[in-house]
Chain A
């Protein structure tokens, strides 16, 4: 198919439709309204289900019901709305039914703002809702990547009976890029052995997240964990740039990762041997690959649009073996490449210690910026 210029939110919505989305339930919130609006036009004309719910609470519970029927279902929202959905997400995880969530992060906490942010990494990657569970989280850095990950997201959700989240921010949602969309596939409702669709010619089925007997709940928790460990083994995705001879590695996901690419290229032009590691699965996180890179590189620089949330995962991967520096912008501020370039230059020159506190050091430098 030919490339067309698409806005991120609309491209994501259309990609989901083309790979067999049967139902969408959502609630307006900036900066992801274009997904809801696109669905509101396209799904009814295709004879599929669309409901603008009374709130995110309603939306996620409609998704929950639809997921129980075995339909391909998704919702989308942004930070305050995702917080409201946490209840339903926990129930969906506990009931072991598949769904896709598009999470377009904005500045917070609280009402925050509508600017691009990555401050909800911990919220979605570390569970968010109550109970022991882990959603699968994919963090594309471009519209094409987001589009290409839509069928992957549904497949992962269905394979692991889990929530699969596409984690982006408002800049990816609202920018435009040339995109090649997938071909329209026919909708095929799979006949899952767990789906509730009428007990005709078979025993009745019950879908629930309640296990009043603690040993039964423990079994369920272990079943979820087993699937999660399998995803950790099989589903890690990342992209590397200039890694082969890199002495320093910049690590960033999503928008921070692609902004860092510009900085890494500029640093390479200056002769600095720096590479970029961009995780695509942020949950499960590519711990093993980063541990390998920690044996090759002399220092890491983590760049995020938050106060160092993924940094904690990188520190776990590195386990104190090499120095890690951090650069973050907060509250909806997107870093410019030159800010990251000067951080790369600093890291390349400075005598760094593996036992330093990257957050404390960064906060000192932030005071200069904030002034």
Chain B
């Protein structure tokens, strides 16, 4: 069993960290996992993405052309990855940063205003964790509890005070997503 995810957005949106949080959770759940960043010359502002592969056996390719799940945090990412998601897969869209909806109906689409929800919690920086929560709503391999435990276990001490907000963001994203999911047709 192997699940492949691509997370994409602007540099600075916390995409890499979101992927790492999922990777920690998968590792702690006893699974094999790879996390690989895209190479871009830009540190901030450009498109950044990472690929996460979660599996029960030795992972072959850490790079994926057609992911089971894509999380897109901005419009260029939506344009790039919507066509690439495997039929029957899932697309999570950060509604706050796009001006259009999904065009495909053969994939499950979750549309969440991550930035707005994050601002309600008190920090726009939590948008990535809202997105992680939304993603978990459709991911069989990991539960919200897995990710909570991983954050608790691996967040560096100096960031531990941010833990409650991160967990709140994950829950908010998860709940919102469950109410705003359009299942794949057929």
Q: Taking the complex as a whole, does A directly touch B, i.e. does some CB pair lie under 8 Å apart?
A: yes
Which of chain A's residues has its CB closest to B51's CB? A175
B80, CB-defined interface residue at 8 Å: no
B104, CB-defined interface residue at 8 Å: no
Query: Is A174 a contact of B61 with CB atoms below 8 Å?
Result: no
Query: Is B35 a contact of A175 with CB atoms below 8 Å?
Result: yes
A170, CB-defined interface residue at 8 Å: yes
Query: Is A334 a contact of B63 with CB atoms below 8 Å?
Result: yes
B156, CB-defined interface residue at 8 Å: no
Instruction: Give how many A-B residue pairs fall within 8 Å (CB-CB).
Output: 66
Query: Is A5 a contact of B64 with CB atoms below 8 Å?
Result: no
Query: Is B58 a contact of A261 with CB atoms below 8 Å?
Result: yes
The smallest beta-carbon distance between B30 and chain A, in angstroms, is 9
Query: Is A259 a contact of B61 with CB atoms below 8 Å?
Result: yes
B49, CB-defined interface residue at 8 Å: no
Query: Is A3 a contact of B27 with CB atoms below 8 Å?
Result: yes
If A5-B20, A115-B39 touch, does A177 touch B63 (CB 8 Å cutoff)? no
**Complex Cα spacing A260 to B33, Å:** 17
If A3-B27, A176-B20 touch, does A258 touch B61 (CB 8 Å cutoff)? yes
Which of chain B's residues has its CB closest to A276's CB? B60
**Complex Cα spacing A260 to B58, Å:** 13
Q: Which of A150-186 contact B (CB under 8 A)?
A: 170-171, 174-178
Instruction: Name the residue in B35, B63, B64 with the highest tally of chain A Cβ atoms < 10 Å from its Cβ.
Output: B63
A52, CB-defined interface residue at 8 Å: no
**Complex Cα spacing A248 to B171, Å:** 49
Q: Which of B20, B24, B37 contacts A174 (CB 8 A)?
A: B37
**Contact bitstring B13-42, A, C-beta under 8 A = 1, else 0:** 000000010011001000011111101000
The smallest beta-carbon distance between B74 and chain A, in angstroms, is 23
Query: Is A262 a contact of B61 with CB atoms below 8 Å?
Result: yes
**Complex Cα spacing A176 to B27, Å:** 11
Residues on B with C-beta less than 8 A from A178 are 27, 32-33
B62, CB-defined interface residue at 8 Å: yes
**Complex Cα spacing A364 to B27, Å:** 43
Give the contact-size bracket for chain A.
20 to 34
If A3-B27, A5-B154 touch, does A176 touch B35 (CB 8 Å cutoff)? yes
**Complex Cα spacing A336 to B60, Å:** 11
Query: Is A177 a contact of B33 with CB atoms below 8 Å?
Result: yes
Query: Is A171 a contact of B36 with CB atoms below 8 Å?
Result: yes
A138, CB-defined interface residue at 8 Å: no
Residues on B with C-beta less than 8 A from A262 are 60-61
**Contact bitstring B56-97, A, C-beta under 8 A = 1, else 0:** 001111111110000000000000000000000000000000
Query: Is A261 a contact of B37 with CB atoms below 8 Å?
Result: no
Residues on B with C-beta less than 8 A from A263 are 60-61
Residues on B with C-beta less than 8 A from A171 are 36, 62-63
The smallest beta-carbon distance between A37 and chain B, in angstroms, is 15
Query: Is A338 a contact of B36 with CB atoms below 8 Å?
Result: no
Residues on B with C-beta less than 8 A from A142 are 58-59
A104, CB-defined interface residue at 8 Å: no
The smallest beta-carbon distance between A249 and chain B, in angstroms, is 16
Q: Which of A48-70 contact B (CB under 8 A)?
A: none
**Contact bitstring A135-154, B, C-beta under 8 A = 1, else 0:** 00000001000000000000
Query: Is A338 a contact of B34 with CB atoms below 8 Å?
Result: no
Residues on B with C-beta less than 8 A from A336 are 61, 63-65
Query: Is A259 a contact of B63 with CB atoms below 8 Å?
Result: yes
**Complex Cα spacing A142 to B34, Å:** 9
If A336-B65, A337-B61 touch, does A5 touch B27 (CB 8 Å cutoff)? yes
If A115-B39, A175-B34 touch, does A260 touch B60 (CB 8 Å cutoff)? yes
**Complex Cα spacing A256 to B16, Å:** 24
Residues on A with C-beta less than 8 A from B65 are 336-338
A114, CB-defined interface residue at 8 Å: yes
Residues on A with C-beta less than 8 A from B58 are 142, 261
**Complex Cα spacing A259 to B34, Å:** 13
Residues on A with C-beta less than 8 A from B36 are 171, 174-176
**Complex Cα spacing A336 to B62, Å:** 9
Query: Is A177 a contact of B35 with CB atoms below 8 Å?
Result: yes
Residues on B with C-beta less than 8 A from A264 are 60
Residues on B with C-beta less than 8 A from A259 are 60-61, 63
**Complex Cα spacing A261 to B23, Å:** 21
The smallest beta-carbon distance between B5 and chain A, in angstroms, is 14
Query: Is A176 a contact of B61 with CB atoms below 8 Å?
Result: no
Residues on A with C-beta less than 8 A from B34 are 175-177
A265, CB-defined interface residue at 8 Å: yes
**Contact bitstring B138-172, A, C-beta under 8 A = 1, else 0:** 00000000000000001000000000000000000
**Complex Cα spacing A263 to B24, Å:** 26
Other A-B pairs beyond A5-B27, A178-B27, A336-B63, 7, CB < 8 Å? A5-B20, A31-B39, A171-B63, A177-B32, A177-B33, A177-B59, A258-B59
B residues contacting A by CB (< 8 A) are: 20, 23-24, 27, 32-37, 39, 58-66, 154
